[in-house]
Structure 1
């Protein structure tokens, strides 16, 4: 009986996450289709992207702020930090090389 409840609860979480992700993807597209100002669309896109990141963490990856999941969240954040440092450093070096060669 407990497995059915877990399955139903997980299915509900996935469906809510899917609906939120679809809505958060459709809103910036609608803003572009309605020819909103570029700055407004940019801020809307950034905001919807950040909220969608949280939706994916909570609904699909089952990451929350509980003690049990905190290690997973720290691992994900550390991985993101390493990737940002690597990409940022690469762009910085390539930009510097490009500036000195021109």
Structure 2
């Protein structure tokens, strides 16, 4: 077996050293960028929040692609569908929680 490409008994690819290094470098760059945006105070609060959130989403994609090796191939279809369902469930729970908290706060502050 070659050191540059790991394969399981089922024949699934687990990436190469180059893809791990690329993912690591991208993750470090995104982390440093988010840190720099906050430390330098280059933007106002809401813009900083949006930029850091966008960088976080990009970092999630980097981790999913380079470390979890999810892609759109037919072998990964069920893993990808399960991941998308999980993300949608978390988004619904977080959005619902934020809505309930905001709604409760608005009704309690109006008294």
Query: TM over 0.5: same fold?
Result: yes
1:1-102 equivalent positions in 2, closer than 5 A: 2-7=1-6, 10-38=16-44, 40-102=47-109
Could you tell me the TM-score, scaled by structure 2's length? 0.72
* TM-score, normalised with respect to structure 1: 0.77
Deviation at 1:47, TM superposition (A): 3.0
Shift of 1:29: 1.6
Displacement of 1:40:
4.9
Q: Compared with structure 1, are the counterparts of its residues 68 and 48 closer, same or farther at alpha carbon in structure 2 (3 Å cutoff)? A: same
Distance in 2, Cα, partners of 1:5 & 1:25: 26
Instruction: Kindly indicate which of the two structures has a greater share of residues assigned to helix.
Output: 1
Root-mean-square deviation (CA, aligned residues, Å) is: 2.2
CA distance in 2, matches of 1:87, 1:47: 17
Q: Which one has more relative contact order, counting CA pairs under 8 Å at least 6 apart? A: 1
2-side partners of 1:57 and 1:3: how far apart? 24
Measure, in 2, the Cα distance between the counterparts of 1:19 and 1:72: 25
